[in-house]
């Protein structure tokens, strides 16, 4: 029998946002000068920035480098009540929230939470450095280029775990196709069955995109008009773009489409990936007055491995080895990725901030300190819901010839259960006293009037 050469189609279709963040030619501290905007209709778009603005802001920041707050510190402490009191004083005198406050005195991560009963201070602490607002109006460190922890993100998280309120069980974002879009897509696939040729790949991809239409963005646990929400959706989107081979990371991670074998992936299978915390990362002092986040672990998992309602699940069924390998590689490389791609560093920060806020509420530091968070909880005084909420995104598809299997829409998101990290089975007790030692090395007893941070 004569052998006939055939072209077989593997059409990898993935739901994501069309606001692909491309690397700008000019960079600040090695990171792209690009950001995500949302138009008046709630559709996400990419925005590029003039690199000259970055250079101007960098020069201005270096002129302030001799100020105390711009000095690097291995452990900077910030009293939340003193910060709120000073912020209130500034606002009452007609001033505004200063950059030092917005950037939390240059903290690039929150490693500790302390409570000092003698002074009733709730304190967060971590490494800090001088900082500058880049063209996307996000603050980054002058030495490392890492983003600073933002006051607005901390306030968003603390409102989710506010005094005298029920704790938020889940903070999440999900991007999903509509049922109508999926139905139209299936009808389109049926209409072209058996008539697709290799050079039709891009036309088929466009047809799928048009029939799927807009996808729905859903948030839980936080307002969708916050910077916190914006980071979650951008991180989710860009991870998907890496998975489908439309964005390259500076750290080697082999994409899902490079791994997928048509013979081992079920036809029309819905492949979904989720970011979630590594929940086994907390150390707590014996008295509960000091907590440390030991590991900035962020995991990428598939649908059959994610945490649902605080319980880690693993579905029984045919495994998707390509998906598992992609998730494992991304998880392993996440710390290195976060050092070079800002949005993933921000995602790690937000997970830490959420855990910190949950710990403050769980330990009732609010009640112990008689602090009701009157200013931070007031949107009219500290506004965090200042962004246009992303509600819908367009579909993006990628067509690759490799076999006969059709792999259908990719969904997923970011799911954070902060209180799960505080459950006994995930917490390590500080038996060697290192967390207590960090708490006791410099307390808030000798602070001057208006001082809210110290080294």
Helix H segments across 109-262? 151-160, 179-192, 201-212, 227-243, 256-259
Check residue 20 and give its pLDDT: 28
Contacts of 30 (CB under 8 A, 6+ apart): 145, 340
How far, in Å, CA of 104 to CA of 93, rounded?
A: 21
- Is pLDDT larger for residue 63 or for residue 147? 147
Decide if pLDDT at 298 tops 70. Answer: yes
- Does residue 243 form part of some domain? yes
At 351, is the pLDDT very low, low, confident or very high (cuts 50, 70, 90)?
A: very high
- Is pLDDT larger for residue 60 or for residue 352? 352
Please count the structural domains in the chain: 1
List beta partners, residue 219.
173
- Does residue 110 form part of some domain? no
- Does residue 304 form part of some domain? yes
How far, in Å, CA of 360 to CA of 354, rounded?
A: 10
- Does residue 241 form part of some domain? yes
Check residue 34 and give its pLDDT: 45
In sequence order, what E strands does 233-312 have? Answer: 270-277, 282-284, 290-293, 298-302, 307-308, 311-312
How far, in Å, CA of 361 to CA of 367, rounded?
A: 9
How far, in Å, CA of 291 to CA of 365, rounded?
A: 12
- Does residue 48 form part of some domain? yes
> Which range has the top average pLDDT, 23-32, 259-268, 295-304, 350-359?
350-359
Check residue 438 and give its pLDDT: 93
- Does residue 407 form part of some domain? yes
At 128, is the pLDDT very low, low, confident or very high (cuts 50, 70, 90)?
A: very high
- Does residue 249 form part of some domain? yes
Decide if pLDDT at 25 tops 50. Answer: no
Rounded mean pLDDT of the chain?
Answer: 80
Tally Cβ neighbours within 10 Å of residue 423: 12
How far, in Å, CA of 282 to CA of 112, rounded?
A: 10
Assigned token pair, 46: 């990419």
Mean pLDDT, to the nearest integer, of 274-281?
86
At 185-210, the pLDDT tens digits run 888 888 887 777 767 777 877 888 88
Lowest-confidence pick of 141-145, 147-151, 164-168, 256-260? 256-260
- Is pLDDT larger for residue 32 or for residue 56? 56
Check residue 287 and give its pLDDT: 94
- Does residue 224 form part of some domain? yes
Percent above pLDDT 90 for the chain = 44
Cα distances from 58 to residues 65, 73, 109, 383, in angstroms, run: 11, 20, 21, 26
- Is pLDDT larger for residue 404 or for residue 77? 77
Residue 238's domain spans which residues?
11-52+153-178+214-431
């Amino acid at each position: 029998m004569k052998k006939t050469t055939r072209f077989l189609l593997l059409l990898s279709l993935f739901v994501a946002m069309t606001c692909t963040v491309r690397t700008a030619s000019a960079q600040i501290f090695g990171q792209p000068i690009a950001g995500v905007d949302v138009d008046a209709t709630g559709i996400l778009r990419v925005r590029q920035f003039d690199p000259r603005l970055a250079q101007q802001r960098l020069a201005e920041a270096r002129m302030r480098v001799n100020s105390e707050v711009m000095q690097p510190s291995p452990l900077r402490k910030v009293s939340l009540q003193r910060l709120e009191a000073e912020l209130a004083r500034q606002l009452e005198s007609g001033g505004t929230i200063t950059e030092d406050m917005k950037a939390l005195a240059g903290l690039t991560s929150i490693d500790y939470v302390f409570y000092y009963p003698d002074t009733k201070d709730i304190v967060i602490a971590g490494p800090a450095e001088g900082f500058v607002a880049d063209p996307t109006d996000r603050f980054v460190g002058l030495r490392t280029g890492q983003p600073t922890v933002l006051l607005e993100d901390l306030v968003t998280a603390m409102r989710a775990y506010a005094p005298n309120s029920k704790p938020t069980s889940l903070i999440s974002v999900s991007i999903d196709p509509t049922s109508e879009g999926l139905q139209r897509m299936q009808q389109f696939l049926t209409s072209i069955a058996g008539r697709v040729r290799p050079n039709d790949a891009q036309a088929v991809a466009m047809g799928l995109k048009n029939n799927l239409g807009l996808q729905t963005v859903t948030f839980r646990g936080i307002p969708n008009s916050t910077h916190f929400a914006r980071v979650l959706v951008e991180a989710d989107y860009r991870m998907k773009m890496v998975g489908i081979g439309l964005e390259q990371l500076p750290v080697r991670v082999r994409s899902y489409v490079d791994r997928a074998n048509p013979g081992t992936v079920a036809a029309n299978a819905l492949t979904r990936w989720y970011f979630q915390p590594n929940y086994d990362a907390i150390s707590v002092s014996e008295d509960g007055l000091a907590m440390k986040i030991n590991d900035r672990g962020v995991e990428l998992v598939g649908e059959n491995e994610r945490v649902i309602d605080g319980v880690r699940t693993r579905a029984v069924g045919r495994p998707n080895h390509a998906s598992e390998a992609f998730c494992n590689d991304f998880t392993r490389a996440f710390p290195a990725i976060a050092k070079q791609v800002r949005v993933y560093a921000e995602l790690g920060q937000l997970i830490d901030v959420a855990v910190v806020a949950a710990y403050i509420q769980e330990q009732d530091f609010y009640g112990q300190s008689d602090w009701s968070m009157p200013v931070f909880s007031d949107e009219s005084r500290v506004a965090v819901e200042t962004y246009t909420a992303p509600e819908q995104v367009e579909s993006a598809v990628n067509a690759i010839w490799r076999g006969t299997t059709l792999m259908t829409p990719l969904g997923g998101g970011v799911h954070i259960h902060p209180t799960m990290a505080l459950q006994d089975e995930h917490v390590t007790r500080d038996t060697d006293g290192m967390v207590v030692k960090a708490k006791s090395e410099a307390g808030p007893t000798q602070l001057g009037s208006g001082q809210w941070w110290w080294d």
